[in-house]
Amino acid sequence: MNKDITINKEAIKTTLEEYLIPVAAIVLVIIGTFFLIIPKTGQIQEVRSKIKQQDTKISQLSQKAAELSSLSETELYESSSLLLAAVPAEKDFYETLMMSKQIVSENGVFIESFKFAPGEVSTESAKKVTLSSLPFEISFNSNFENLKSMVENIEKMLPLVTIDRIRFGSVEATESGSLADFSGKINLMSYFSPLPKSLGAPEKPLPKIGNQDRELVEKLKSYKKYEPLAVEEEEVITVGKENPFPF
């Protein structure tokens, strides 16, 4: 005997709602976990890492500030200015030329010509070098006493200049016969040192100023810094090869 099967649509709807709502909620949680919570967790970790790095930098800077507070600002300024005067941060052809001309002329030595051998100037490879030199050559004419005085004064001048060698050419007798005039060439070196780019980096410790550093600064205080003199009349100095038209 067949019985009619009656489908209760309301019962089915109620049953589906009871199962679908929890399943949909679980799916939303899973989707939210992958697309929202996990990325946010990564961002939070990144922010925490940056905060930790900032805390480390603050600690390093606080330590530097404590060390600097124990030093004299005036003394640091004077010492750094003196050291930069001794070894400039950049090559300066004009300053080297005028300084050398001045000290040579003040000692009664006549300059016949002046020649540079510049090498690298303001290039990336030059900036990587801790200490670089600027060699130059002076052709001169002088008596012995004036030449000796010039050599002694060069060794006490700022910026620092060292004498590489002196080559004598001819010796000429003077009218009095007492002092001979020498002609020759003197090779000198001036120096420069670019300032390090990491000078103020928080992770770099402050250089310690030792007794030798203080002694060096005190010694440099006795050196003479040559300042450009006011030029009343322009004077031509042959740079490079000698002038083929001297008259």
Greatest Cα pair distance in the chain = 158
The number of folded domains in the chain is 2
Q: Are residues 99 and 50 in the same domain?
A: no
Q: Is residue 239 part of a domain?
A: no
Range of the domain at 213: 90-194+209-225
Regarding whether 43 and 123 lie in a shared domain, the answer is: no
Tell me the C-alpha distance between 119 and 133, whole Å. 9
Up-side HSE of residue 236: CA atoms within 13 Å toward CB? 7
Q: Which two tokens stand for residue 123?
A: 């290039």
What band does 6 get if pLDDT is binned at 50, 70 and 90?
low
Residue 37 half-sphere exposure, CB side, CA atoms within 13 Å? 7
Kindly state whether residues 28 and 64 are assigned to the same domain. Answer: yes
Question: Do 100 and 66 lie in a common domain?
Answer: no
**95 and 217 inside one domain:** yes
d(CA 240, CA 247): 18
* Unique residue bearing structure tokens 């010039």: 150
In a shared domain, residues 115 and 185: yes
Does some domain include residue 220? yes
Q: Is residue 102 part of a domain?
A: yes
38 lies in a domain?
A: yes
Any domain includes 245 = no
Take residue 87 and report the two structure tokens written for it.
């070894």
Residues 220, 117 within the same domain: yes
User: Does 126 score more than 70 pLDDT?
Assistant: no
Q: Same domain, yes or no, for 120 and 218?
A: yes
Going by DSSP bridges, is the β-strand pair 157-158/224-225 parallel, antiparallel, or unpaired? parallel
Rounded to two decimals, the pTM is 0.59
Categorize the per-residue pLDDT at 123 as very low, low, confident or very high, splitting at 50, 70 and 90.
very low
Q: Are residues 156 and 213 in the same domain?
A: yes
Task: Write out pLDDT tens, residues 158-179.
Answer: 888 888 888 888 666 555 555 5
Distance between CA atoms of residues 90 and 123, nearest Å: 11
Inter-CA distances, 145 with 34, 57, 103, Å: 89, 60, 15
Give yes or no: residues 107 and 163 share one domain. Answer: yes
What would the mean pLDDT of 49-68 be, rounded to a whole number? 83
**147 with 218, same domain?**
yes
The pLDDT-based confidence of 79 (bands split at 50, 70, 90) is confident
Of 18-22, 99-103, 112-116, where does mean pLDDT reach its minimum? Answer: 18-22
Q: Is the pLDDT of residue 189 over 50?
A: yes
Condensed to tens digits (0 to 9), the pLDDT of residues 150-162 reads: 888 888 888 888 8
- In this structure, the answer to whether residues 98 and 31 fall within a common structural domain is no
CATH of the domain at 111: 3.30.70.60
CB contact at 8 A, 139 and 100? no
Peptide bond into 159 cis (omega under 30): yes
- 32: in domain: yes
- Band (pLDDT 50/70/90 cuts) for residue 247 is very low
pLDDT above 70: percentage of residues in the chain: 72
